[in-house]
Structure 1
Amino acid sequence: MNKFLYLIGLLLVTSIIYSQNILKGNITTNKNEPLQNVAIHLVENNDHTETDINGNYQFKNTPKGNVTLVVYLYGYEQKTQKINTSETTEINFTLNESEQHLDEVIVSTSFNKIQSQNVMKVEHTSVNELQEKGAVSLMDGVTSIPGVSQISTGTSIGKPVIRGLSSNRVVTYAQGIRLENQQFGDEHGLGLSASGIESVEVIKGPASLLYGSDAIGGVLYFNPEKYASLEDSKVLLIQQFSSNTQGTNTSFGYKNTPSNWKFLIRANYNSQADYKIPSGNKIINTRSIEKDLKYGIGYANSHFSTDVRYNYNNLNLGLPEEDIENSGFRNPLYPKQDIDNHLLSWNQKVFFKNSKLEADFGYTFNNRKELEDAEEIALHMKLKTASYNVKYFFPKWKNIETIIGVQGMHQTNSNFGEELLIPDATVKDFGSFITSNYEWKSNVIQAGIRFDNRNLNTSTHGIFGNEGYFEAIDKQFNSFNFALGYKTNITEKIISRINLASGFRAPNLAELTSNGVHEGSNRYEIGNQNLKNEQNFQIDVNLEYDNEHFDFFINGFYNHIKNYIYISPTGNMIDDNFVFEYVQNNAALYGGETGIHIHPHPLDWLHYTSSFEMVIGKQENNNYLPLIPANQWKNNLKAEFKLGNWLKKGFISSQINYNFQQNNVSNFETKTPDYTLVNLGFGGKFNWNKNLISFSLNGQNLFNKTYISHLSRLKADGIPNMGRNIVLGFNFEF
């Protein structure tokens, strides 16, 4: 603790010693007219500002050395410029009118390139875009991204599925740190609120090079909201209403950047009653109450930036079961879950002349209670995780950029309830990696290698031969992995990418040690201490065509997994519960996504997007893997408009999503018929007393279609998904 306080003090002292490094400029049209409200993003320290009425912009705390500026304004071309701030203090831009799409800066990959320069195809979307589509929850919105689905329990629990892989095979990052919340359970949700999250990035495929064990299926990377621009402050209020659940979601935020210091606070309250199915009946105890609080404080000058954030999330949600006596309205009934999540993160960047040191330190505390009644806490687990991620960016040499890094975590799990799913345990991870990026003309090659070690120790619990007995284990898992990617511009409009990567996943505690009834899945589960690492190899190919009025993409992948771990029925029963055990077999998943975006000239206000996604998962013995999403065909027609000077960026949209029947099922799943869902949306932005207000009105499942998603955990009980839902949302910015 003394060393930590000393380091904080040292940072404060150096902030006073170092002077500001100013970068400024002017942005105009090709007719030399100043452009106002142009967004300028300084990639290296994630700073941003906008031009004033005269087209001028200024950064006061620009990092020393090489930096990247991204300049964009709706309706104009986007520009990216690399400069050295030790040599340049002023740079101007001229923008031409254009319908090009925003080329986002990708944070989740090593070198923070814009999408067109990245060797890996990464999906990026803002939370505002998800809310405009009427997303009720964060995971509900993320599933609109091609290749992403969710294992759901009603409306309040959603677990990400990327190209057929889920649970511990998908890593989630928030505030720059790894989120650990007992993700081995299908009924264990994310524990994140959309409030205070700016955007999400999805890596589809093994990302073990950057994120270590468990990133065998992909990564969800949630970017927190940015601080206010320099010498600016903002008050933000978001309000959303849902007709089906009579739900209300309220978010209030304030952020201020008076000088080098930056502050923000965000509070959210989300309450949903039982959801209604198309027949008009309510599914009792699918209600939930969520509270979320986020703080942030940052400091930046030309030599370093630091950002400390804290997030507290409490989710109180009901678990639907037979013969629950309905009472009340919103307060969850028994059985229910009561979950506290605490996330504390510290991001530190130090800028040298031509290099950079970046470190993320995190602490997460997941306090999970599952209650059968008011007097009994059936399950109570406390998971505490301390993590670190330190990277050094070497000076660029002959178009070669290189990063070395070390990562690790120390995790403890402790039990306090009447029942145990997994024993008390300690997990220690350590990983080191090196990766390089080489660019020439329109070509990029990126390669890297990594070594990981995981130590897992558990305690003995219970009586040998009885339910709930856990034998102590002391195991170590090691793995070497690599990644190799190549991107090139075949023509000015066509980009191709090919990526080869390996990944690994160490068996989790449930797979190694289970011995008892898992109430969430209603089965007796038996672990296997002899399980080996899952080791995979994936090839991913991407082709994109992009011009001003037509875009096309196609992604294909083949993912071979050695020692794939899955649960299988034994045919036996214990205490009226079917017995399942964890086993291993080689497996393969393959498929991909393809889509188009048409906005024809001269109807530039009209947009049609369509995408198709599929995945097939099989074991080596030709049996299908469980929890593989059905193929989907998604269509969206959107018209943009403005009405006079009062309604800006107005839109009307219609979505028609067709889910194919899923007949490729494992030996303990049932087939799922096909269904079509129709959604309609309307919204826009307008000024009120010089304040910007956004609104959206969405009708989801407009025709009140009765359907059951293949990945719904309520499917086994024959419970349909939600019926028609009207969602009204407002976003106030003062």
Structure 2
Amino acid sequence: MKYLLSVMAFLFAVAGFSQSKISGYITNSNNEKLAGVLVHIEENNAETTTDANGFYQFTTLPKGTNKLIFFLSGYEILNKTVTHLEADAVVNVTLNEKEQHLEEVIVSTFFNKIQAQNVMKVEHAKVSELKENGATSLIDGLTTIAGVSQISTGTSIGKPVIRGLSGNRVLVYSQGIRVENQQFGEEHGLGVNSAGVESVEVIKGPASLLYGSDALGGVIYLNPEKYASYQEKETSFEQQYFSNTQGTATTFGFKASPSNFKFLIRGNYTSHADYKVPSGERIINTRFIENDLKMGIGYANTKMATDFRYNFNQLDLGLPEEDLENSGFRNPMFPKQDVANHALSLNQKVYFKNSKIEGDFGYTLNNRKELEEADEIALSMKLQTASYNVKYFLPKFIRLEAIVGIQGIDQTNTNFGEELLIPDANVKDFGTFLTTNYAWNSNVLQAGIRYDNRKISTQTHGIEGEEGYFEAIDKQFDSFNASVGYKTDLSESINSRLNIASGFRAPNLSELTSNGVHEGSNRYEIGDSSLKNEQNFQVDLNLEYKSQHFEIFVNGFYNHINNYIYITPTGAEIDGNDVYNYIQNNASLFGGEAGIHFHPHPFDWLHFTSSFENVTGKQGDNNLPLIPANQWKNNIRTEFTLKDWLQKGYASVFFNYTFAQNNFSTFETKTNDYLLVNLAIGGKIKIGKNYLNASVNGNNLLNKTYVNHLSRLKTDGIYNIGRNIIGTISFDL
């Protein structure tokens, strides 16, 4: 902790308070002023848009060289570099017309390039777009991205799965710091609300070079909402209603940037009753209540940028069990989970003439309780995590960019309940890395190397030979990893990406120490303290063709994992519970995604998208558990404007077909295929001088009876949710 404070003090100490600005006008080839052009500064991820006169302005800029990127749909993307910025600069630009989809800057990769310039294929989606696709929650929205699925427990708990890997193999980042909420349990949810999240990015494949242990399967990066534009303020309100669960979600936010200081606050209250299956039966105790608060304050000038964020999330959610008698309507019954998450983060940037230092510092407190009765706290765990991630961006040498950095966490788990899933423990991570990016013509080469060390120490608990006994362990895990990626344009319309990377994951506390009944999984689990690192090697190939009215992509991957850790039944029983052991063997996963996007001329208002995703997981001749079934997703979308009273109108019909899962593990069963039909319609409605955003989504319109292969309620014969109509209104006050 002293080390963290010293680094933070250094970053603040070198910051100054001088100012300079860049401003200008943006026109087209006919010298017409262009409004709504998005202008992005690569060095600090600042953004603004041009006003009705095509004017833009940045008042607080990093010292030295700044790269500006200009975006507007229907025009070519333009890059401008302003060198040695010491005083005010005027940059007027002209954009040439060309059908071009707006590309977002990718934040989750260290070099922060737009996707066209990025070596890694990173999926990016705005949360508003996920809601348009009918997402009922953040994790539900993530599953609309090809290659992403979820392990679900009803509608309240969802855990992300990337290309067949889940749990501790997938890292989730929010506010620039890792989400740590005892994610080893299948019934432990994400604990992040979509309110106040601007967009999501998904890295599919080992990201250990970027983020260290636990990024073996990939990273989900949640970008917090941006502050208001300079000297602007915004007040917004959103209300949602869900017919199936008679649920409501209310969100209110305010943000302002009166000067170099900027701040925001956003609160959300969500409440759902038990969900209803197509037969009309409600699944008792799948209800939940969620409270979420996000706050932020930032400051920026020429030499520094500071962003401090706080998020409080509380979940009160029921756990469905057999023979429960219904009581009440909306408040969760026993047994239930009471989970509170506190997350504080600080992002600090310091700019030099031709380089910069960036640090992310975080503290999270996860307080997880499971209650059997009102006065009986069966499980209570407090997980405290301090984290740091400091990167130095070296001066650019011709076309070569390089970053060196250190990362780490200091984590403590403490038990307070009658039952223990894992013992009291301390985990310390330390990693150091070097990554480089070299670009020439239409080619980009990126390579890096990293070393990590993880220390795990636990305390003895219980009586040897009895349930609940945990032997103290003191172990270290080390790993070197490397990656190399190459992106090139094979022609004006075709580009390709090839990435080869290694990754690793140290075994978690549950895998090392378990000795007892895991109520959430209904089995007696036994860990193995001799488990080794999981070490993988993955090859990922991406091909894309883009023309003015047609796009196609193909992604393929092969992932070999040495010492893959999994749980398997032994055939024995203890106190009526089946016994499962954690073991490890080599495994392989392979598959990919392919899709098209067609919007024919002259019907530019019409869009057709279709994608197919596949993953196969093998351990020798056996199938790995929790592998999602193949999916084929189709969407027909129209976009329209009705005079001046409806702007940005849209209507979409989704046909999502999930194939039967015949490749199941030894303790799973076959899952049948099913087709879901969804509908979405919405737009901006003009009321007086103001606009109201309104949408209606219909999920599972045909009220299809089905069960997803990754549903934890499948073994109890419980189906997934039936027809659900979602109404949403939002507006600025």
TM range (shorter): over 0.9
Q: What is the TM-score normalised by the length of structure 2?
A: 0.98
Residue equivalent to 1:224? 224
Verify: 1:66 aligned to 2:40, yes or no: no
Name the SS of the counterpart of 2:622 in structure 1: coil
Q: Deviations over 1:601-646 (max 9, x none)?
A: 1011100000000000000x21000000000000000000000112
Whole-angstrom distance in 2 between the partners of 1:7 and 1:159: 34
Residue equivalent to 1:23? 22
Residue equivalent to 1:129? 129
Q: Summarize the Cα distance change of 1:556–1:658 in structure 2 as closer, same or farther, 3 Å threshold.
A: same
Verify: 1:660 aligned to 2:659, yes or no: yes
Mapping 1:32-43, distance limit 5 Å: 32-43=31-42
Residue equivalent to 2:80? 81
Report deviation, 1:323.
1.1
Q: Summarize the Cα distance change of 1:9–1:380 in structure 2 as closer, same or farther, 3 Å threshold.
A: closer
Name the SS of the counterpart of 2:305 in structure 1: strand
- Assess if the C-alpha contact under 8 Å between 1:23 and 1:85 holds in 2: no
Mapping 1:98-137, distance limit 5 Å: 98-137=98-137
Whole-angstrom distance in 2 between the partners of 1:269 and 1:74: 35
Verify: 1:315 aligned to 2:315, yes or no: yes
Q: Summarize the Cα distance change of 1:13–1:468 in structure 2 as closer, same or farther, 3 Å threshold.
A: closer
Whole-angstrom distance in 2 between the partners of 1:179 and 1:554: 31
Report deviation, 1:71.
2.0
Whole-angstrom distance in 2 between the partners of 1:380 and 1:53: 56
Residue equivalent to 1:234? 234
Residue equivalent to 1:389? 389
Residue equivalent to 2:212? 212
Q: Summarize the Cα distance change of 1:5–1:481 in structure 2 as closer, same or farther, 3 Å threshold.
A: closer
Whole-angstrom distance in 2 between the partners of 1:135 and 1:508: 31
Whole-angstrom distance in 1 between the partners of 2:614 and 2:64: 45
Residue equivalent to 2:259? 259
Whole-angstrom distance in 1 between the partners of 2:695 and 2:39: 27
- Assess if the C-alpha contact under 8 Å between 1:62 and 1:85 holds in 2: no
Residue equivalent to 2:278? 278
Whole-angstrom distance in 2 between the partners of 1:242 and 1:204: 31
Residue equivalent to 2:574? 574
Q: Deviations over 1:682-702 (max 9, x none)?
A: 011134344343221111000
Report deviation, 1:304.
0.5
Residue equivalent to 1:629? 628
Whole-angstrom distance in 2 between the partners of 1:480 and 1:330: 50
Whole-angstrom distance in 2 between the partners of 1:642 and 1:149: 34
Residue equivalent to 1:523? 523
Residue equivalent to 1:409? 409
Name the SS of the counterpart of 2:90 in structure 1: coil
Q: Which runs of 4+ in 1 moved over 4 A?
A: 1-15
Residue equivalent to 1:159? 159
Report deviation, 1:443.
0.4
Mapping 1:533-612, distance limit 5 Å: 533-612=533-612
The AA in structure 1 aligned to 2:541 is V
Q: Summarize the Cα distance change of 1:358–1:6 in structure 2 as closer, same or farther, 3 Å threshold.
A: closer
The AA in structure 2 aligned to 1:86 is L
Residue equivalent to 1:437? 437
Name the SS of the counterpart of 1:385 in structure 2: strand
Report deviation, 1:91.
1.4
Q: Deviations over 1:577-612 (max 9, x none)?
A: 000000010000000000000001101110000000
Report deviation, 1:46.
2.2
Name the SS of the counterpart of 1:131 in structure 2: helix
Q: Deviations over 1:486-510 (max 9, x none)?
A: 0000111111000000000000000
Residue equivalent to 1:464? 464
Q: Deviations over 1:653-685 (max 9, x none)?
A: 000000000010110000100000000110111
Whole-angstrom distance in 2 between the partners of 1:617 and 1:391: 36
Residue equivalent to 2:680? 681
Q: What is the TM-score normalised by the length of structure 1?
A: 0.98
Name the SS of the counterpart of 1:31 in structure 2: coil
- Assess if the C-alpha contact under 8 Å between 1:40 and 1:48 holds in 2: yes
Name the SS of the counterpart of 1:210 in structure 2: helix
Whole-angstrom distance in 2 between the partners of 1:598 and 1:513: 52
Report deviation, 1:76.
3.7
The AA in structure 2 aligned to 1:38 is V
- Assess if the C-alpha contact under 8 Å between 1:241 and 1:727 holds in 2: yes
Task: Work out the percentage of aligned pairs sharing the same amino acid.
Answer: 66
Unaligned runs of 5+ in 1: none
Q: Deviations over 1:333-378 (max 9, x none)?
A: 0000000001000000001011010000000110000000101000
RMSD (CA atoms): 1.6
Report deviation, 1:238.
1.3
Whole-angstrom distance in 2 between the partners of 1:671 and 1:634: 21
Deviates more, 1:320-329 or 1:285-294: 320-329
Q: Summarize the Cα distance change of 1:202–1:4 in structure 2 as closer, same or farther, 3 Å threshold.
A: closer
Report deviation, 1:96.
3.7
Report deviation, 1:6.
10
- Assess if the C-alpha contact under 8 Å between 1:461 and 1:470 holds in 2: yes
Q: Summarize the Cα distance change of 1:498–1:117 in structure 2 as closer, same or farther, 3 Å threshold.
A: same
Residue equivalent to 1:478? 478
Report deviation, 1:13.
8.8
Whole-angstrom distance in 1 between the partners of 2:428 and 2:104: 35
Q: Summarize the Cα distance change of 1:338–1:116 in structure 2 as closer, same or farther, 3 Å threshold.
A: same
The AA in structure 2 aligned to 1:315 is L
Whole-angstrom distance in 2 between the partners of 1:61 and 1:143: 38
Whole-angstrom distance in 2 between the partners of 1:557 and 1:11: 40
Residue equivalent to 1:670? 669
Name the SS of the counterpart of 2:628 in structure 1: coil
Residue equivalent to 2:496? 496
- Assess if the C-alpha contact under 8 Å between 1:100 and 1:547 holds in 2: no
Report deviation, 1:69.
2.0
Deviates more, 1:126-135 or 1:198-207: 126-135
Whole-angstrom distance in 1 between the partners of 2:12 and 2:438: 37
Q: Deviations over 1:513-556 (max 9, x none)?
A: 00000000000000001100000000000000111100010000
Whole-angstrom distance in 1 between the partners of 2:513 and 2:499: 36
Deviates more, 1:287-296 or 1:52-61: 52-61
Report deviation, 1:426.
0.3
Report deviation, 1:14.
7.7
- Assess if the C-alpha contact under 8 Å between 1:662 and 1:671 holds in 2: yes
Name the SS of the counterpart of 1:209 in structure 2: helix
Q: Summarize the Cα distance change of 1:481–1:461 in structure 2 as closer, same or farther, 3 Å threshold.
A: same
Report deviation, 1:2.
11
The AA in structure 2 aligned to 1:79 is L
Q: Summarize the Cα distance change of 1:669–1:52 in structure 2 as closer, same or farther, 3 Å threshold.
A: same
- Assess if the C-alpha contact under 8 Å between 1:170 and 1:215 holds in 2: yes
Mapping 1:172-187, distance limit 5 Å: 172-187=172-187
Report deviation, 1:50.
1.8
Name the SS of the counterpart of 1:107 in structure 2: coil
- Assess if the C-alpha contact under 8 Å between 2:232 and 2:256 holds in 1: yes
Q: Summarize the Cα distance change of 1:529–1:338 in structure 2 as closer, same or farther, 3 Å threshold.
A: same
Q: Summarize the Cα distance change of 1:674–1:330 in structure 2 as closer, same or farther, 3 Å threshold.
A: same
Whole-angstrom distance in 1 between the partners of 2:702 and 2:151: 24
Residue equivalent to 2:725? 726
Unaligned runs of 5+ in 2: none
Residue equivalent to 1:643? 642
Report deviation, 1:325.
1.2
Q: Summarize the Cα distance change of 1:35–1:287 in structure 2 as closer, same or farther, 3 Å threshold.
A: same
Report deviation, 1:94.
1.9
The AA in structure 2 aligned to 1:730 is I
The AA in structure 1 aligned to 2:497 is R
